[in-house]
Protein backbone atom coordinates (compact mmCIF):
# COMPACT_ATOMS: atom_id res chain seq x y z
CA UNK A 1 0.00 0.00 0.00
CA UNK A 2 1.26 3.46 -0.87
CA UNK A 3 2.02 6.44 1.37
CA UNK A 4 3.32 4.31 4.21
CA UNK A 5 3.96 7.31 6.45
CA UNK A 6 0.23 8.03 6.55
CA UNK A 7 -0.88 4.49 7.22
CA UNK A 8 -2.51 3.46 10.50
CA UNK A 9 -2.65 -0.16 11.61
CA UNK A 10 -4.83 -1.48 14.42
CA UNK A 11 -3.40 -4.65 15.96
CA UNK A 12 -5.43 -6.57 18.53
CA UNK A 13 -3.41 -8.64 20.97
CA UNK A 14 -0.43 -6.48 20.06
CA UNK A 15 1.36 -6.35 23.41
CA UNK A 16 3.23 -9.63 23.00
CA UNK A 17 3.84 -12.63 20.78
CA UNK A 18 2.94 -12.53 17.10
CA UNK A 19 0.90 -9.33 17.47
CA UNK A 20 3.89 -7.53 18.95
CA UNK A 21 6.12 -8.82 16.17
CA UNK A 22 3.74 -7.49 13.53
CA UNK A 23 3.46 -4.10 15.26
CA UNK A 24 7.24 -3.68 15.49
CA UNK A 25 7.76 -4.70 11.87
CA UNK A 26 5.18 -2.21 10.63
CA UNK A 27 6.63 0.53 12.83
CA UNK A 28 10.09 -0.05 11.37
CA UNK A 29 8.59 0.60 7.93
CA UNK A 30 6.95 3.87 8.86
CA UNK A 31 3.50 2.79 9.96
CA UNK A 32 1.63 4.32 12.87
CA UNK A 33 0.44 1.63 15.27
CA UNK A 34 -2.54 1.39 17.56
CA UNK A 35 -2.61 -1.86 19.48
CA UNK A 36 -4.86 -3.17 22.17
CA UNK A 37 -4.39 -5.58 25.02
CA UNK A 38 -6.67 -7.08 27.63
CA UNK A 39 -4.44 -7.72 30.67
CA UNK A 40 -0.79 -7.40 29.53
CA UNK A 41 -0.26 -3.81 30.68
CA UNK A 42 3.48 -4.09 31.42
CA UNK A 43 4.18 -5.74 28.06
CA UNK A 44 2.05 -3.10 26.34
CA UNK A 45 4.18 -0.27 27.76
CA UNK A 46 7.35 -1.97 26.53
CA UNK A 47 5.88 -2.59 23.08
CA UNK A 48 4.74 1.03 22.78
CA UNK A 49 8.25 2.21 23.63
CA UNK A 50 9.76 -0.17 21.09
CA UNK A 51 7.38 1.05 18.38
CA UNK A 52 8.38 4.64 19.07
CA UNK A 53 12.07 3.73 18.95
CA UNK A 54 11.49 2.30 15.48
CA UNK A 55 10.06 5.57 14.28
CA UNK A 56 6.33 4.92 14.43
CA UNK A 57 3.63 6.61 16.45
CA UNK A 58 2.25 4.27 19.10
CA UNK A 59 -0.98 4.11 21.03
CA UNK A 60 -1.68 1.27 23.47
CA UNK A 61 -5.30 0.80 24.50
CA UNK A 62 -6.71 -1.54 27.10
CA UNK A 63 -9.71 -3.17 25.42
CA UNK A 64 -11.51 -6.48 25.68
CA UNK A 65 -12.46 -6.96 22.02
CA UNK A 66 -14.81 -9.81 22.96
CA UNK A 67 -17.14 -7.03 24.15
CA UNK A 68 -18.85 -5.62 21.03
CA UNK A 69 -19.49 -2.23 22.63
CA UNK A 70 -15.85 -1.88 23.72
CA UNK A 71 -14.59 -3.00 20.29
CA UNK A 72 -16.76 -0.44 18.49
CA UNK A 73 -15.79 2.30 20.95
CA UNK A 74 -12.09 1.59 20.36
CA UNK A 75 -12.42 1.89 16.59
CA UNK A 76 -14.41 5.10 16.93
CA UNK A 77 -11.74 6.56 19.21
CA UNK A 78 -8.89 5.65 16.87
CA UNK A 79 -10.65 7.07 13.82
CA UNK A 80 -11.45 10.26 15.74
CA UNK A 81 -7.91 10.75 17.07
CA UNK A 82 -5.87 9.38 14.13
CA UNK A 83 -8.26 9.97 11.26
CA UNK A 84 -8.31 6.47 9.78
CA UNK A 85 -7.63 2.76 10.11
CA UNK A 86 -6.00 1.31 7.00
CA UNK A 87 -5.19 -2.14 8.35
CA UNK A 88 -6.85 -4.37 10.92
CA UNK A 89 -4.78 -7.23 12.30
CA UNK A 90 -6.90 -9.58 14.41
CA UNK A 91 -4.16 -10.97 16.64
CA UNK A 92 -6.03 -11.49 19.91
CA UNK A 93 -7.23 -14.95 20.82
CA UNK A 94 -7.24 -17.07 24.00
CA UNK A 95 -6.35 -20.76 23.96
CA UNK A 96 -6.64 -23.61 26.41
CA UNK A 97 -6.41 -27.38 26.34
CA UNK A 98 -9.15 -29.29 28.11
CA UNK A 99 -11.07 -32.43 27.21
CA UNK A 100 -14.48 -31.65 25.77
CA UNK A 101 -16.30 -33.40 28.62
CA UNK A 102 -14.26 -31.51 31.20
CA UNK A 103 -14.97 -28.19 29.48
CA UNK A 104 -17.26 -25.69 31.19
CA UNK A 105 -19.85 -23.53 29.50
CA UNK A 106 -17.73 -20.51 30.42
CA UNK A 107 -14.59 -22.03 28.91
CA UNK A 108 -16.47 -23.06 25.78
CA UNK A 109 -17.89 -19.58 25.26
CA UNK A 110 -14.55 -17.92 25.97
CA UNK A 111 -13.00 -19.61 22.93
CA UNK A 112 -15.64 -18.19 20.60
CA UNK A 113 -15.87 -14.83 22.35
CA UNK A 114 -12.10 -14.36 22.11
CA UNK A 115 -11.16 -15.97 18.80
CA UNK A 116 -14.10 -15.51 16.42
CA UNK A 117 -16.59 -12.89 17.51
CA UNK A 118 -14.14 -9.94 17.69
CA UNK A 119 -13.37 -10.33 13.98
CA UNK A 120 -17.06 -9.83 13.26
CA UNK A 121 -17.36 -6.86 15.63
CA UNK A 122 -14.23 -5.13 14.36
CA UNK A 123 -14.96 -5.76 10.67
CA UNK A 124 -18.32 -4.06 11.16
CA UNK A 125 -16.57 -1.13 12.80
CA UNK A 126 -13.67 -0.57 10.38
CA UNK A 127 -15.44 -1.37 7.10
CA UNK A 128 -17.21 1.99 6.60
CA UNK A 129 -13.95 3.96 6.74
CA UNK A 130 -12.14 1.49 4.48
CA UNK A 131 -15.03 1.54 2.01
CA UNK A 132 -14.99 5.34 1.89
CA UNK A 133 -11.28 5.31 0.99
CA UNK A 134 -11.67 2.37 -1.42
CA UNK A 135 -8.73 0.66 0.29
CA UNK A 136 -7.93 -1.48 3.31
CA UNK A 137 -6.52 -4.73 4.56
CA UNK A 138 -7.86 -7.13 7.18
CA UNK A 139 -5.81 -10.11 8.38
CA UNK A 140 -6.98 -12.72 10.87
CA UNK A 141 -5.36 -15.81 12.37
CA UNK A 142 -6.63 -19.35 12.14
CA UNK A 143 -4.51 -22.46 12.77
CA UNK A 144 -2.70 -24.70 10.33
CA UNK A 145 -5.04 -27.68 10.44
CA UNK A 146 -8.36 -25.86 10.95
CA UNK A 147 -9.40 -26.43 7.34
CA UNK A 148 -9.08 -30.22 7.86
CA UNK A 149 -12.08 -30.35 10.23
CA UNK A 150 -10.54 -33.12 12.30
CA UNK A 151 -11.82 -34.39 15.63
CA UNK A 152 -10.24 -32.31 18.40
CA UNK A 153 -11.07 -33.76 21.85
CA UNK A 154 -8.81 -31.39 23.80
CA UNK A 155 -9.17 -28.08 21.92
CA UNK A 156 -12.69 -28.48 20.56
CA UNK A 157 -14.13 -24.99 20.91
CA UNK A 158 -10.86 -23.30 19.97
CA UNK A 159 -10.64 -25.42 16.83
CA UNK A 160 -14.24 -24.76 15.79
CA UNK A 161 -13.66 -21.05 16.33
CA UNK A 162 -10.53 -21.14 14.15
CA UNK A 163 -12.43 -22.99 11.41
CA UNK A 164 -15.04 -20.25 11.71
CA UNK A 165 -12.32 -17.66 11.18
CA UNK A 166 -11.68 -19.14 7.73
CA UNK A 167 -15.37 -19.01 6.76
CA UNK A 168 -15.72 -15.46 8.06
CA UNK A 169 -12.53 -14.41 6.25
CA UNK A 170 -13.82 -15.66 2.92
CA UNK A 171 -17.22 -14.08 3.46
CA UNK A 172 -15.72 -10.70 4.34
CA UNK A 173 -13.40 -10.95 1.32
CA UNK A 174 -16.33 -11.45 -1.02
CA UNK A 175 -18.32 -8.60 0.48
CA UNK A 176 -15.45 -6.10 0.66
CA UNK A 177 -13.50 -6.86 -2.55
CA UNK A 178 -15.65 -4.44 -4.61
CA UNK A 179 -14.33 -1.64 -2.40
CA UNK A 180 -10.63 -2.39 -2.91
CA UNK A 181 -10.33 -4.14 0.45
CA UNK A 182 -8.63 -7.51 0.93
CA UNK A 183 -9.40 -9.91 3.77
CA UNK A 184 -7.08 -12.87 4.30
CA UNK A 185 -6.14 -15.43 6.94
CA UNK A 186 -2.81 -16.73 8.16
CA UNK A 187 -2.72 -20.18 9.74
CA UNK A 188 0.35 -20.73 11.92
CA UNK A 189 1.50 -24.14 13.06
CA UNK A 190 3.93 -24.42 15.95
CA UNK A 191 5.48 -20.98 16.37
CA UNK A 192 7.87 -19.98 19.15
CA UNK A 193 5.88 -16.91 20.17
CA UNK A 194 6.38 -17.19 23.93
CA UNK A 195 2.95 -18.67 24.65
CA UNK A 196 4.02 -22.33 24.84
CA UNK A 197 6.75 -23.80 27.08
CA UNK A 198 9.97 -24.62 25.16
CA UNK A 199 9.80 -28.31 26.10
CA UNK A 200 6.31 -28.57 24.59
CA UNK A 201 7.50 -27.02 21.35
CA UNK A 202 10.55 -29.29 21.27
CA UNK A 203 8.31 -32.34 21.63
CA UNK A 204 6.32 -31.24 18.59
CA UNK A 205 9.34 -30.91 16.32
CA UNK A 206 9.21 -34.54 15.20
CA UNK A 207 5.67 -33.98 13.89
CA UNK A 208 6.69 -31.06 11.67
CA UNK A 209 7.79 -32.09 8.16
CA UNK A 210 10.25 -29.18 7.98
CA UNK A 211 11.89 -30.47 11.16
CA UNK A 212 11.88 -27.28 13.20
CA UNK A 213 9.67 -24.82 15.06
CA UNK A 214 8.68 -21.61 13.30
CA UNK A 215 9.50 -18.14 14.55
CA UNK A 216 7.44 -14.98 14.96
CA UNK A 217 9.40 -13.59 12.00
CA UNK A 218 8.05 -16.38 9.78
CA UNK A 219 4.53 -15.21 10.56
CA UNK A 220 5.42 -11.53 10.24
CA UNK A 221 6.79 -12.20 6.75
CA UNK A 222 3.41 -13.55 5.65
CA UNK A 223 1.69 -10.46 7.05
CA UNK A 224 4.19 -8.21 5.26
CA UNK A 225 3.33 -9.91 1.97
CA UNK A 226 -0.44 -9.62 2.45
CA UNK A 227 -0.12 -5.91 3.22
CA UNK A 228 2.04 -5.24 0.17
CA UNK A 229 0.92 -4.14 -3.28
CA UNK A 230 2.19 -7.50 -4.51
CA UNK A 231 -0.84 -9.04 -2.79
CA UNK A 232 -3.45 -6.61 -4.10
CA UNK A 233 -5.26 -9.43 -5.95
CA UNK A 234 -4.97 -11.97 -3.12
CA UNK A 235 -8.34 -12.04 -1.36
CA UNK A 236 -9.98 -14.68 0.79
CA UNK A 237 -6.76 -16.67 1.01
CA UNK A 238 -5.47 -18.82 3.85
CA UNK A 239 -1.68 -18.92 4.08
CA UNK A 240 -0.24 -21.85 6.02
CA UNK A 241 2.85 -20.95 8.06
CA UNK A 242 3.57 -24.33 9.54
CA UNK A 243 6.56 -26.02 7.91
CA UNK A 244 4.16 -28.53 6.40
CA UNK A 245 2.40 -29.47 9.66
CA UNK A 246 -1.40 -29.69 9.61
CA UNK A 247 -1.81 -30.07 5.86
Q: Which residues pair with 192 in a beta bridge?
A: 215
The class level of CATH for 4-238 reads alpha beta
Q: Which residues pair with 87 in a beta bridge?
A: 9, 137
Residues 6 or more apart from 187 whose CB is under 8 A from it? Answer: 141, 142, 143, 144, 146, 147, 162, 166, 238, 239, 240, 241, 242, 246
* pLDDT 10s digits, 38-76: 988 999 999 999 999 999 899 999 999 999 999 999 999
Nearest to 150 by CA among 140, 168, 163, 141: 163
Residues 6 or more apart from 130 whose CB is under 8 A from it? Answer: 85, 86, 136, 176, 179, 181
Give the three-state DSSP class for 10: strand
Checking if the pLDDT of 183 tops 70, the result is yes
Residues 19-44: what's their mean pLDDT?
95
- DSSP annotation of 61 reads E
Query: Which member of 121, 159, 212, 225 is catalytic?
Result: 159
* pLDDT 10s digits, 96-153: 999 999 999 999 999 999 999 999 999 999 999 999 999 999 999 999 999 999 999 9
* Dist. CA 12–CA 140, nearest whole Å: 10
Is-catalytic flag, 121?
Answer: no
Dihedrals phi, psi of 108, to nearest 5 degrees: -60, -50
Strands (E) across the chain are located at 8-12, 32-37, 58-62, 87-90, 136-141, 181-188, 191-192, 214-215, 238-241
- Contact between residue 82 and residue 5 where contact means Cβ atoms under 8 Å apart: no
pLDDT of amino acid 29: 95
Question: Where do the domains of the chain lie?
Answer: 4-238
Strands (E) across 167-234 are located at 181-188, 191-192, 214-215
pTM over the 0.85 mark: yes
Amino acid sequence: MDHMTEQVALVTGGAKGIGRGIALDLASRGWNIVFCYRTSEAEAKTTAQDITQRGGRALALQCDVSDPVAAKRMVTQVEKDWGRIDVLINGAGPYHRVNLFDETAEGWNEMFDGNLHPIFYLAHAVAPGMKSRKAGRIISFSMANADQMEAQPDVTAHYIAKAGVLILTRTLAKLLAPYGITVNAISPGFIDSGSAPPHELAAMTKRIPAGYIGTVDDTVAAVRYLLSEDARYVNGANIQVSGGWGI
